[in-house]
Amino acid sequence: MPTQHSSAEGLSRGKKSMTWFSRPPDRRASPRFRADVPLTISVVDDHEITSVHALGRGISEGGVSVVGIQGLTVGGTVSLEMHLPVANQPLWVEAVVRHTAQHCGLEFLALSEEQQRLIKRYCRWQPQEKRQQSWSRR
């Protein structure tokens, strides 16, 4: 249970009043879903293009979570070829690497209206029980 100090108590100790939580609040703009999304992740550097096949284990309208991928740089951009059952052909999207801890979080960049529509449609097809509060709680 959160612990909250009154503002008078906090000021008398020279501290600001704070509420303590056991985990940070979820700041995501879109709900996330457990889903197996076949991907090809491509990284372009000065001399070559490196592509690997991967499986996205979660998706939202804002990005995809991938496990088992190493060597990506936080802040770096990648190209994704995503195979969604709601699309007749693969979606090619750009994404930025947001984190690489237990899984790799990739945030979609500059989606076209059609790409947004297809990803939103795919997310809405996922059953309610596949909604996740956090990628790391599996």
Q: In this structure, what CATH number is given to the domain that contains residue 119? A: 2.40.10.220
Per-residue pLDDT band at 46 (split at 50, 70, 90): confident
The larger pLDDT score, comparing residue 10 to residue 34, is at 34
Phi/psi class of residue 124: alpha, beta or left (left: φ > 0; alpha: ψ in -120 to 50)?
alpha
Q: In which band, very low, low, confident or very high, does the pLDDT at 1 lie, cut at 50, 70 and 90? A: very low
Which residue segment(s) compose the domain that 71 sits in? 32-130
Q: How confident is the model at residue 23, as a pLDDT?
A: 42
Number of domains making up the chain = 1
- Would 78 be classed as within a structural domain? yes
Q: Tell me whether residue 138 is in a domain.
A: no
- Model confidence pLDDT, tens digit, residues 51-64: 999 999 999 999 99
Q: What predicted TM-score, i.e. pTM, was given to this entire model?
A: 0.72
Q: What percent of the chain has pLDDT over 70?
A: 71
* Strand residues in 5-86 grouped as ranges (E): 19-20, 32-44, 49-59, 63-66, 77-82
For residue 135, tell me if it sits in a domain.
no
Residue 3 inside a domain? The answer is no
Asked if residue 72 belongs to a domain, the reply is yes
Does residue 19 fall inside a structural domain?
A: no
Single-letter code of the amino acid located at 61: E
